[in-house]
Structure 1
Amino acid sequence: MLQIELQNVAPIPRPGDVGAQAVAIRVGGDQAAFWGCGFFGAQDTLHDDRGRHYFKDCYIQGSIDFIFGNGKSFYENCQLNSMANPVPAGVKSINGAVTANGRASMDENSGFAFVNCSLGGTGRIWLGRAWRPFSRVVFAYTFMSDIVAPEGWNDFNDPMRDQTIFYGEYMCTGGGANTTLRLPYIQRLNDTQASPYLNVSFIDADQWLQPYT
């Protein structure tokens, strides 16, 4: 397996810019795995489109929705770096988001799980936006710097999605991991609830994933 870096050098867009998406890679096949790879871009860096995927020890950089799509993917020990424009002191506006998961119905067996990752960089960001109404993302054992907004997540300005999205956090640390001011629909997972998302069984790894040596 090759360890590669993929980059899209399009400029960092402002929130709300139209046509600013600039994908560095699209992963649309089932049973794809990446070890120690780098993905660099701004808006929509990594299109985790569909299928089961494994990312380990990867570096993923972007500004808005920089991991998006409808894959069923497990991110382990990855470094997530926001390059959203810095926010002046005292300003509370949000100018970035890590994920935009595209799960569109409860029948779709997809979603993103981030375990033992780290999240830092610049800007003021959400952990995810509900691009589709059944969006599903979990962060566990992840360090989050204080660039994460206190509310943590965004329902894509559609309150109807609050009843169907699944956004969970479990045993995360750092200045951005305080869940006190999280929005009401956020799941503060207990051990039992978090268990399905904590290892590679989330992506049925016993059926296909081979160890990287």
Structure 2
Amino acid sequence: MYLKNTSPAPMPGMEGWQAAAFRISGDKAYFVGCGFYGAQDTLCDDAGRHYFKECYIQGSIDFIFGNGRSMYKGCELHSIARRFGSIAAHARTSPDEKTGFAFVNCRVTGTGPLYVGRAMGQYSRIVYSFTYFDDIVARGGWDDWDHLSNKNKYV
């Protein structure tokens, strides 16, 4: 199964052109071998606990975003960014929230430069473990959206 936004996609790197292919807000969702195709904001991992296994997720800017508590295992995260891009933007706003994105045994491929994450909230949580990256990661790796409160504490 694959999910694809069939409306005209914006050119990668365009600002202000959200085109979510899929939004998940339910709890305990499980996706295996799915494809999610888009440009900016491809997959809205909004809320709840989710497991993505061996999925293909394509985008340019914040192509995985939201405040879910999700595991991505064995997935390919493919960037189509031109000027700049970012894989994930997490929206955790409190240190007490049990949310975050974990990418385990994944592959990051495509074009860049690309940030591995951007802070949508002061306590954004994005973890990469045993993940391969093409040579496309932007210098510094992380974008705080120029908010002092979003400065990274651990990279």
TM-score, normalised with respect to structure 2:
0.94
Query: Is the 1:12–1:63 Cα contact (8 Å) retained in structure 2?
Result: no
Q: Paired residue for 1:160?
A: 149
Match for residue 42 of structure 2 among 41, 45, 64: 45
Q: Paired residue for 1:97?
A: 86
Q: Paired residue for 2:67?
A: 70
More helix by share: 1
Instruction: Tell me how far apart the structure 1 counterparts of residues 92 and 29 of structure 2 sit (CA, whole Å).
Output: 19
In the alignment, does 2:23 pair up with 1:6? no
Instruction: Tell me how far apart the structure 2 counterparts of residues 28 and 160 of structure 1 sit (CA, whole Å).
Output: 27
Instruction: Tell me how far apart the structure 2 counterparts of residues 45 and 130 of structure 1 sit (CA, whole Å).
Output: 17
Identify unmatched segments of 5+ residues in structure 1. Answer: 88-94, 166-184, 188-213
Instruction: Tell me how far apart the structure 1 counterparts of residues 49 and 75 of structure 2 sit (CA, whole Å).
Output: 17
Q: Which residue identity does 1:29 align to in structure 2?
A: G
In the alignment, does 2:23 pair up with 1:26? yes
Point out which structure has higher relative CO (alpha carbons under 8 A, 6+ apart). 2
Give the match's secondary structure for 1:100.
strand
Match for residue 102 of structure 2 among 113, 117, 122: 113
More strand by share: 2
Structure with the greater alpha carbon radius of gyration? 1
Identify unmatched segments of 5+ residues in structure 2. Answer: none
Match for residue 79 of structure 1 among 71, 76, 80: 76
Cα RMSD, aligned residues only:
1.3
TM-score, normalised with respect to structure 1:
0.69
- The size of the alignment, in residue pairs, is 153
Offset of residue 156 of structure 1: 1.3
Q: Paired residue for 1:186?
A: 154
Q: Paired residue for 1:143?
A: 132
Offset of residue 123 of structure 1: 2.0
How big is each residue's C-alpha offset from its partner over 1:81-100, in whole Å with a ceiling of 9 and x where there is no partner?
00012x5xxxxxxx100000
Give the match's secondary structure for 1:160.
helix
* 4+ residue segments displaced more than 2 Å: 12-15
How big is each residue's C-alpha offset from its partner over 1:98-147, in whole Å with a ceiling of 9 and x where there is no partner?
00001111121100000000001012110000011110000000001111
What aligned pairs does 1:164-175 form with structure 2 within 5 A after superposition? none
* % identity of equivalent residues: 53
Give the match's secondary structure for 1:146.
coil
